[in-house]
């Protein structure tokens, strides 16, 4: 491109869709047929991508009041420029962007663009689970990466009306290095497995639980009690009333306050049976009866979580002003958004 | 869980479910596993068998059966019926006595345990003092005499088991009663025999193990006479009139002693060693029975020459110069002789010998000249050769039934014509409403046809498939060779064959068409052979046509490393009347055969192996097509003999090897083991290695199934259907196959009309392939018609036994995998409904079958549902077509793998599974179709006119048939 600067305004309350915005950029810069990467500088000075409605809206909403947008040609793009602290470490982002050769000198792990990312795991239902528990969803796409964990029989101590009792339980016994389970960091050896896809495992044999997990392996949701309870999510809403409860196991004997809304989602996982007619092309088998079950709130959580995975963790660094950008009129940032979703992981 | 609750709120449906389903284990068929005791009541004419697991089973007339289970899991050592009563006493190996009685409740007798008792000696006495060796129920019906190891005989009052100390016959008291010269004998040691005098209830014969026998007067408490033998005593027997006594001894001899109180030093009348002069084994039990003709029957167990025949299990019968040693293939537990029940009669006149061997019950007709065996109506030894598979066919047309029975009758000519002599009690069960066949395939290549209509599982016909092949052994020849030796006069009896485990001959799958009489049999594992047989009432000699089906056709680069195939006999073979093979399909490569389907109307047979499946036209004797189902990367399936059904011997050997190997490898692995348990040093490491192996927790790997897994090509199920495969306007014959990897193949078939059936070839074309994404093995495929009713069996409609299927509405396809039930629409395959079993419950489908459930209230109301057995041993009913779980019962222990593997369902909601190698348990899910014994045993009705005494009013008859 060389460098080109444009300044235009957007209506903050109605930012529209990413596609429209992308089209607008192409129009403004008169590059209708060039694939570009769009990035923006957030309040902390990080160079973050804009490639879908969500992060576009986020970008617009956090503009303060100017939104600086960086556009690069896709084929020349320097992916490593994105991420936390990028704009702070490298004082002159523009130089980086325009002359990527500068830091190609250091060997970099090439990270593909966020649109190529997919979620591999998430913590869900944080709001309805006791704080000692963690519900982890593992996404199994294709076969390239093994789920990679083992379970075993064991016993755990429970608080029951008759006092402390030792009851048999199922535990994670091993994580395969490089497997999905290990790479998420959400499961660990000796975590007790409490539920598989919403079904309690108490009273079930190791083989039964194994079969249940394998049967659900394409969309596995495991509720565990982590062996290490120090990394638990602390929720502001709870701490007021139930802090006494949250430290021990007594929650297990309490009736669950809310049923997890897992039912509809187990419908989606394996509707993709394949039919080949007359030696033709394989295609997915359609559903005969359109299912009323709509997309539930989980999708929303996942999307937000995806962002978290990609390094959108708010840091306390303030924005260093950097030149060069396409600025958009926006209002003050809505900083509560991330916390409300409750999907923050402590690493 | 929620899914189970959801349909449960409709009260009308709940009520209907109660009318349709109920779970009962109704009866056990076959021969009790590990029998340990035999009892017989001459007056009731009922046989009792006790087992090592503490069960007592009673058998009378066909259909009269009872079973009781001791609370203790101890072996039953002895069973004694109380004379003239519906009561029996069992002795367990924990030295406890149990009183059982048959009581009438609601018009039927039930067996129930009344009382139990353990004999207590005086404080401080050795345990052997009260260790019971012999039990004698006294004819007074109130007393039980118990001989013990210490030599003391205790008396116990019934029914309360109260010890009568004043009636105890101590060894000392007997010693006092002996003359001086007899007293020098040392301690008596244990009581070996206790026999009541046949005429005088006050005299009891007591035999001690060292050889002393006394006749004890119960009233006078004195010795009436004594006999001294210089051999260890094994048993004694009174002659019926009490004037003679016969004792048998450990050296293989028996002696006859005259009984009279005045003969001072009694000498044996006669002493003989029947199989002398070389050392013989002990004669452990003897019967001496007199007949009207004058010559007695001597029947004894054992006594064979130690060196050459010491390992035989023999019972010899000697009468009138005729002597036969019946040679059993398994250990003899006990035997008894059926004779005149009336104690007042002058002669025994024995008519049958009943022998309980470890693996079978044999009854010998003593009336017929050559003492032939009697065919038992029950207690069949299902495991004559190990059962490898079973197949149930409901509602057999009378015509076919009669032909099978006729073919079987010709095989049973060696049996006696005698009526079954054990005929106590009356069966009140209604006559079975239909004729059912249970077919069992065995390891020796036979298929046995059992009458499974009623309580008694009776052998109708036995088909041997061995004749078609050249095998190493010609089994019949060695048997005959043995019989030629003239002394001892051995004669093999019984059907149990302990030496039949040639895995090449084992039958893996059976399919019988009840309308056409076509039978298809799959034999396994090397090579897979499909044998198509036809019922022929005449004997015939013809060659069996052989065809080879190469399932790897067109697949390059596969090299088979498995076993060589078994060759068929060339040229014409002679066949007996019955099922005669006419086509033999040999599958290549010779791996495992896994599924079989026969369509008798289209004259097609489909077979599946670990490599693919094929369709064979048995009318034209031509292969229609083969389809390889292997995944290109599945090398494992190609390399080895993939025998999933191993012989026990082989699997034992392998598991030992595996243990050994894992010990070695765990030792090697030590240094790399998990931190914290790394031991240092050689010997210690070794020991810890073994310990670790034992202590290491069982782990299970959680991994998604992938298409590349091995064995995905296994064809698990095959199904013929006439349905809408291509479009919704025309239906056509189709063949469906499901694999281990979750793939379903559908082939459209074109079968020429009957008049051109021989001229035009059958054509097949693949129409559909469905890949289930969860990739679980497909275990069942079914097509439902427009009314959501399963399609009828071939020829069922032609024989007016079923409504013709609805071809107007749209058909549906049900695919059952181990993990899910799914309904798809046809002809355009779209997912309609599903039930996930594994994801919700962690159980997997092992068996699935359509069953018709009739209501017990409304006469003509019935529903078709799926009967399902899971790997946890649960039996469930899943509704059709909505796939709602209806009921669930736990049926088989989850550890009982062979029981779960052996389960078969019937078309009317019953089922069978093996509870031991020799027994089928029958269960029912239906309220309407129950086959269970209902019978009445009444002591008053019996032929016993015995002892006129007794004031205890009418007999109590009691009992609870246990579940």
Specify the pLDDT at position B126.
Answer: 78
Q: Would you give the DSSP letter of residue A245?
A: G
| Residue A170 structural domain | 121-231
- Condensed to tens digits (0 to 9), the pLDDT of residues B77-89 reads 999 999 888 899 9
Residues of chain A positioned with their CB less than 8 A from the CB of B708: 143
Cα A49 to Cα A54: distance, rounded to the nearest angstrom: 11
- Name the residue facing A279 among B706, B766, B822 (closest C-beta): B766
Is residue A133 domain-shared with residue A223, that is, in the same domain? yes
Q: Is A147 on the interface with B (CB under 8 A)?
A: yes
Tokens 């089928």 -> residue: B920
Cα A153 to Cα A172: distance, rounded to the nearest angstrom: 9
Is residue A193 domain-shared with residue A125, that is, in the same domain? yes
Is residue A170 domain-shared with residue A226, that is, in the same domain? yes
SS3 B470: coil
Is residue A150 domain-shared with residue A78, that is, in the same domain? no
Specify the pLDDT at position B28.
Answer: 92
- Name the residue facing B774 among A270, A278, A279 (closest C-beta): A270
Q: Is A162 on the interface with B (CB under 8 A)?
A: no
DSSP B90-145: EEETTSEEEEEEEEEETTEEEEEEEEEEE---STT--GGGG-EEEEEE-TTSSEEE
Residue B493 and residue B314 in contact, taking contact as beta carbons nearer than 8 Å: no
Q: Which of A117, A133, A161 is the last residue of a domain?
A: A117
* Residue A74 placed within a domain: yes
Q: Exposed/middle/buried for B221, CB within 10 Å: 0-12, 13-18, 19+? A: middle
Please name the residue of chain B whose CA is at the shortest distance from the CA of residue A209.
B842
Beta bridge partners of B381: none
Is residue A48 domain-shared with residue A142, that is, in the same domain? no
List of residues 6+ apart from A158 with CB closer than 8 A: A164, A165, A166, A167, A249, A252, A253
What is the domain-level CATH number for residue A215?
A: 2.30.42.10
Beta bridge partners of B27: B922
Residues of chain A positioned with their CB less than 8 A from the CB of B1: 199
Among residues A62, A63, A66, the alpha carbon closest in space to that of A334 is found at A62
* pLDDT reading at B193 higher than 80: yes
Specify the pLDDT at position B113.
Answer: 93
Q: Is B748 on the interface with A (CB under 8 A)?
A: no
User: Beta strands B545-550 and B578-588: pairing type?
Assistant: parallel
Residue from B702, B768, B882 to probe the interface with A (highest A Cβ count within 10 Å) = B702
Specify the pLDDT at position B150.
Answer: 86
Residues of chain A positioned with their CB less than 8 A from the CB of B840: 199, 212
- Residue B393: band (very low, low, confident or very high) from pLDDT cuts 50, 70, 90: very high
Sheet with B778-784, strands from edge to edge, namely B778-784, B812-817, B820-825, B831-836
Is residue A72 domain-shared with residue A162, that is, in the same domain? no
More confident residue, B478 or B305: B305
Please provide the average confidence, as pLDDT, over all residues in chain B: 82
Residues of chain A positioned with their CB less than 8 A from the CB of B698: 152-153, 206
Is residue A73 domain-shared with residue A129, that is, in the same domain? no
Beta bridge partners of B46: B41
Residues of chain B positioned with their CB less than 8 A from the CB of A204: 842
Cβ–Cβ of B697/A214 closer than 8 Å?
A: no
- Residue B541: band (very low, low, confident or very high) from pLDDT cuts 50, 70, 90: confident
Specify the pLDDT at position B733.
Answer: 92
* pLDDT reading at B140 higher than 90: no
Is residue A73 domain-shared with residue A146, that is, in the same domain? no
Query: Which range (B201-215, B244-258, B644-658, B867-881) has the least confidence?
Result: B644-658
Positions of chain A with pLDDT under 50: 84-107, 237-270, 290-347
Specify the pLDDT at position B922.
Answer: 94
Chain A contacts in chain B segment 640-699 (CB below 8 A):
697-699
Tokens 């010890």 -> residue: B163
- Condensed to tens digits (0 to 9), the pLDDT of residues B918-951 reads 999 999 999 888 888 888 888 754 443 333 333 3
Is residue A78 domain-shared with residue A142, that is, in the same domain? no
- Name the residue facing A276 among B699, B769, B894 (closest C-beta): B769
Specify the pLDDT at position A77.
Answer: 61
Q: Report ipTM (2 d.p.).
A: 0.75
Q: How far is A183 from chain B (nearest CA, A)?
A: 15
Beta bridge partners of A69: A40
- Name the residue facing B700 among A207, A274, A279 (closest C-beta): A207
* Residue A328 placed within a domain: no
Q: Is A145 on the interface with B (CB under 8 A)?
A: no
Q: How many CA atoms lie within 13 A of B823 on its CB side?
A: 23
Phi, psi of B329 (to 5 degrees): -80, -10
* Residue A10 placed within a domain: yes
Specify the pLDDT at position B477.
Answer: 42
- Residue B142: band (very low, low, confident or very high) from pLDDT cuts 50, 70, 90: confident
Specify the pLDDT at position A115.
Answer: 55
Q: Is A178 on the interface with B (CB under 8 A)?
A: no
Query: Which range (B470-474, B529-533, B709-713) has the least confidence?
Result: B470-474
* Residue A276 placed within a domain: no
Chain A contacts in chain B segment 590-629 (CB below 8 A):
none
Specify the pLDDT at position B486.
Answer: 73
Cα B488 to Cα B565: distance, rounded to the nearest angstrom: 42
Q: Which of A231, A259, A276 is the last residue of a domain?
A: A231
Residues of chain B positioned with their CB less than 8 A from the CB of A207: 700, 842, 871
Chain A contacts in chain B segment 806-845 (CB below 8 A):
819-820, 822, 824-825, 829-832, 836, 838-844
CA distances from B407 to B250, B459, B544, B575 (A): 47, 12, 20, 12
More confident residue, B678 or B167: B167
What is the domain-level CATH number for residue A60?
A: 3.10.20.90
* pLDDT reading at B767 higher than 80: yes
More confident residue, B636 or B526: B526
CA B373 to chain centre: 20
Q: Which of A166, A198, A231 is the last residue of a domain?
A: A231
* Residue A255 placed within a domain: no
pTM of the model: 0.77
* pLDDT reading at B475 higher than 50: no
Specify the pLDDT at position B710.
Answer: 62
* Residue A313 placed within a domain: no
Residues of chain B positioned with their CB less than 8 A from the CB of A276: 768-771
Count of the separate structural domains present in chain A: 2
- Name the residue facing A285 among B702, B830, B838 (closest C-beta): B830
Is residue A133 domain-shared with residue A113, that is, in the same domain? no
Cβ–Cβ of B766/A278 closer than 8 Å?
A: yes
- Residue B874: band (very low, low, confident or very high) from pLDDT cuts 50, 70, 90: very high
Specify the pLDDT at position B554.
Answer: 59
Residue B159 and residue B99 in contact, taking contact as beta carbons nearer than 8 Å: yes
- Residue B681: band (very low, low, confident or very high) from pLDDT cuts 50, 70, 90: very low
- Condensed to tens digits (0 to 9), the pLDDT of residues B115-138 reads 999 988 777 777 778 899 999 999
Calculated CA dihedral for residues A119, A125, A127, A133, nearest 10 degrees: -100
Is residue A56 domain-shared with residue A81, that is, in the same domain? yes
Please name the residue of chain A whose CA is at the shortest distance from the CA of residue B831.
A287
Helix (H) or strand (E) holding B651: helix B648-669
Q: Is A215 on the interface with B (CB under 8 A)?
A: yes
* Residue A130 placed within a domain: yes
Query: Which range (A200-209, B146-155, B253-262) has the least confidence?
Result: B253-262
- Name the residue facing A150 among B1, B699, B707 (closest C-beta): B699
Cα B607 to Cα B611: distance, rounded to the nearest angstrom: 11
Calculated CA dihedral for residues B586, B754, B780, B518, nearest 10 degrees: -60
Cα A190 to Cα A151: distance, rounded to the nearest angstrom: 9
List of residues 6+ apart from B274 with CB closer than 8 A: B252, B254, B280, B283, B300, B303, B316, B318, B323
Cβ–Cβ of A214/B704 closer than 8 Å?
A: yes
- Condensed to tens digits (0 to 9), the pLDDT of residues B566-579 reads 666 667 888 888 88
* Residue A186 placed within a domain: yes
Specify the pLDDT at position A114.
Answer: 56
Percent of chain A's residues with pLDDT above 90? 3
The angle at the Cα of B159, spanning B155 to B163, to the nearest 5 degrees, equals 30
Residues of chain A positioned with their CB less than 8 A from the CB of B836: 215, 266
- Condensed to tens digits (0 to 9), the pLDDT of residues B784-839 reads 988 888 988 887 777 777 777 877 778 999 999 999 999 999 888 888 888 998 88
Residue A52 and residue A38 in contact, taking contact as beta carbons nearer than 8 Å: no
Please name the residue of chain A whose CA is at the shortest distance from the CA of residue B768.
A277
Is residue A127 domain-shared with residue A77, that is, in the same domain? no
Specify the pLDDT at position B656.
Answer: 58
Residue B422 and residue B45 in contact, taking contact as beta carbons nearer than 8 Å: yes
Please name the residue of chain B whose CA is at the shortest distance from the CA of residue A152.
B699
Cβ–Cβ of B700/A150 closer than 8 Å?
A: yes
**Please, what's the b/e burial string for B424-434 (b: 16 or more CB within 10 A of its CB; e: otherwise)?**
bbbbebeeeee
């Amino acid at each position: 491109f060389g460098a080109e600067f444009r300044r235009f305004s957007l209506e903050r309350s109605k930012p529209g869709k990413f596609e429209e915005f992308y089209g607008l950029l192409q129009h403004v810069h008169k590059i209708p047929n060039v694939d570009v990467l769009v990035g923006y500088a957030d309040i902390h000075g990080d160079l973050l991508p804009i490639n879908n409605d969500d992060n576009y809206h986020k970008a617009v909403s956090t503009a303060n009041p100017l939104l600086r947008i960086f556009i690069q040609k896709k084929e020349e793009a320097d992916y490593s420029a994105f991420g936390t602290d990028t704009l702070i470490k490298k004082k002159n982002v523009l130089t980086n962007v325009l002359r990527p050769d500068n830091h190609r000198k250091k060997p970099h792990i090439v990270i593909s663009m966020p649109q190529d990312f997919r979620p591999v795991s998430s913590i869900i239902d944080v709001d309805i689970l006791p704080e000692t528990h963690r519900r982890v969803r593992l996404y199994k796409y294709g076969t390239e990466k093994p789920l990679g964990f083992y379970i075993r029989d064991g016993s755990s101590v429970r608080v029951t009306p008759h006092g402390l009792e030792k009851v048999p339980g199922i535990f994670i016994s091993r994580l395969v290095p490089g497997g999905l389970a290990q790479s998420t960091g959400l499961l660990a050896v000796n975590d007790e497995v409490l539920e598989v896809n919403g079904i309690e495992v108490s009273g079930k044999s190791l083989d039964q639980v194994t079969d249940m997990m394998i049967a659900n392996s394409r969309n596995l949701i495991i509720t565990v009690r982590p062996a290490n309870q120090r990394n638990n999510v602390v929720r502001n809403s709870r701490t007021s009333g139930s802090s006494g409860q949250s430290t021990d196991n007594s929650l297990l004997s309490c009736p669950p306050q809310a049923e997890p809304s897992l039912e509809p989602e187990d419908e989606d996982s394996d509707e993709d049976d394949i039919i080949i007619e007359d030696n033709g092309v394989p295609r997915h088998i359609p559903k005969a009866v359109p299912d009323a079950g709509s997309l539930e709130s989980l999708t929303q959580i996942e999307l937000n979580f995806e962002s978290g995975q990609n390094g959108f963790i708010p840091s306390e660094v303030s924005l260093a002003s950097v030149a060069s950008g396409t600025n958009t009129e926006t209002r003050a940032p809505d900083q509560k958004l991330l916390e409300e979703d409750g999907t923050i992981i402590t690493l | 869980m929620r899914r189970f609750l959801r349909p449960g709120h409709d009260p009308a449906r709940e009520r209907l479910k109660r009318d349709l389903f109920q779970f009962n284990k109704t009866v056990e068929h076959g021969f009790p596993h590990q029998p340990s005791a035999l009892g017989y009541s001459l007056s009731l004419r009922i046989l009792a068998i006790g087992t090592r697991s503490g069960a007592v089973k009673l058998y009378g007339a066909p259909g009269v059966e009872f079973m009781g289970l001791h609370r203790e899991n101890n072996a039953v050592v002895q069973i004694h019926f109380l004379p003239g009563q519906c009561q029996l006493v069992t002795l367990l190996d924990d030295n406890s006595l149990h009183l059982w009685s048959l009581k009438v409740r609601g018009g039927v007798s039930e067996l129930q345990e009344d009382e139990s008792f353990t004999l207590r000696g005086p404080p401080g006495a050795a345990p052997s003092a009260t260790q019971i060796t012999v039990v004698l129920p006294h004819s007074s019906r109130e007393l039980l005499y118990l001989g013990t190891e210490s030599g003391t005989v205790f008396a116990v009052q019934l029914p309360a088991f109260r010890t009568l100390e004043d009636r105890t016959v101590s060894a000392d008291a007997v010693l006092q009663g002996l003359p001086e010269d007899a007293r020098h004998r040392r301690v008596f040691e244990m009581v070996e025999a206790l026999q009541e005098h046949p005429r005088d209830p006050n005299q009891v014969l007591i035999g001690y193990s060292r050889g002393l026998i006394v006749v004890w007067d119960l009233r006078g408490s004195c010795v009436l006479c004594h006999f001294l033998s210089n051999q260890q005593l094994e048993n004694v027997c009174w002659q019926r009139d009490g004037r003679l006594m016969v004792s048998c001894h450990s050296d293989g001899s028996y002696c006859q002693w005259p009984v009279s109180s005045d003969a001072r030093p009694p000498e044996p009348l006669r002493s003989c060693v029947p199989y002398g002069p070389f050392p013989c084994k002990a004669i452990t039990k003897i019967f001496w029975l007199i007949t009207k003709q004058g010559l007695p029957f001597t029947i004894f167990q054992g006594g064979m020459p130690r060196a050459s025949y010491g390992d035989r299990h023999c019972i010899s019968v000697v009468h009138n110069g005729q002597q036969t040693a019946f040679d059993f293939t398994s250990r003899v537990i006990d035997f008894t002789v059926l004779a005149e029940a009336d104690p007042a009669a002058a002669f025994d006149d024995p008519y049958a010998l009943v022998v309980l061997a470890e693996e079978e019950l044999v009854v010998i007709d003593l009336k017929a000249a050559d003492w032939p065996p009697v065919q038992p109506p029950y207690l069949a030894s299902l495991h004559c050769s190990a059962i490898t598979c079973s197949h149930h066919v409901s509602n057999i047309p009378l015509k076919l039934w009669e032909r099978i029975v006729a073919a079987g009758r010709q095989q049973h000519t060696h049996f006696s014509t005698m009526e079954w002599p054990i005929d106590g009690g009356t069966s009140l069960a209604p006559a079975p409403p239909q004729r059912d066949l249970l077919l069992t395939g065995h390891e020796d290549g036979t298929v046995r046809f059992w009458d499974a209509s009623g309580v008694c599982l009776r052998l109708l016909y036995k088909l041997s498939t061995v004749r078609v092949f050249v095998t190493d052994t010609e089994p019949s020849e060695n048997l005959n060779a043995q019989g030629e030796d003239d002394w001892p006069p051995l004669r093999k009896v019984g059907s149990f064959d302990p030496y039949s485990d040639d895995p090449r001959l084992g039958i893996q799958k059976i399919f019988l068409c009840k309308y056409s009489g076509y039978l298809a049999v799959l034999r396994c594992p090397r090579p897979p052979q499909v044998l198509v047989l036809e019922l022929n009432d005449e004997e015939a000699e013809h060659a069996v046509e052989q065809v080879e089906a190469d399932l790897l056709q067109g697949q390059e680069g596969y090299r088979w490393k498995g076993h060589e195939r078994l060759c068929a006999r060339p040229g014409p073979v002679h066949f007996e009347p019955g099922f005669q093979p006419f086509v033999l399909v040999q599958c290549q490569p010779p791996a495992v055969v896994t599924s079989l389907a026969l369509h008798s109307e289209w004259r097609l047979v489909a077979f599946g192996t670990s490599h693919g499946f094929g369709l064979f036209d048995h009318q034209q004797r031509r292969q229609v097509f083969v389809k390889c189902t292997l995944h290109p990367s599945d090398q494992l399936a190609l390399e080895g003999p993939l025998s999933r059904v191993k012989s026990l011997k082989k699997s034992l050997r392998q598991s030992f090897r595996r243990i050994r190997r894992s010990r070695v490898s765990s030792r090697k692995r030590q240094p790399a083991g998990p931190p914290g348990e790394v031991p240092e040093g050689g010997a210690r490491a070794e020991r810890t290695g073994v310990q670790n192996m034992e202590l290491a927790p069982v782990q299970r790997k959680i991994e998604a199934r992938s298409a590349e897994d091995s064995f995905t090509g296994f064809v698990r199920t095959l199904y013929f259907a006439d349905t809408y495969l291509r479009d919704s306007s025309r239906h056509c014959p189709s063949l469906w196959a499901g694999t281990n990897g979750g793939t379903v193949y559908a082939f459209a078939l074109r079968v020429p009309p009957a008049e051109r059936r021989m001229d035009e070839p059958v054509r097949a074309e693949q129409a559909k392939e469905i890949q289930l994404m969860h990739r679980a093995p497909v275990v069942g495929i079914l097509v439902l018609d427009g009314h959501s009713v399963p399609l009828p069996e071939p020829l069922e409609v032609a024989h007016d036994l079923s409504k013709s299927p609805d071809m107007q509405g749209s058909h549906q396809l049900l695919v059952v995998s181990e993990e899910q039930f799914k309904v798809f629409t046809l002809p355009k395959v779209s997912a309609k409904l599903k039930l996930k079993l594994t994801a919700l419950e962690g159980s997997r489908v092992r068996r699935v079958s359509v069953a018709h459930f009739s209501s017990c209230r409304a006469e003509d109301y019935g529903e078709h549902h799926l009967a399902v057995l899971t790997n946890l041993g649960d039996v469930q009913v899943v509704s059709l077509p909505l796939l709602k779980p209806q009921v669930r019962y736990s049926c088989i222990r989850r550890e009982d793998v062979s029981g779960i593997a052996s389960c078969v369902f019937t078309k009317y909601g019953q089922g069978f599974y093996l509870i031991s190698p020799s027994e089928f348990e029958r269960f029912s899910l239906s309220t309407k179709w129950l086959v269970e014994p209902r019978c009445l045993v009444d002591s008053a009705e019996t032929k016993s006119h015995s002892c006129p005494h007794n004031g205890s009013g009418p007999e109590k008859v009691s009992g609870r048939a246990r579940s």
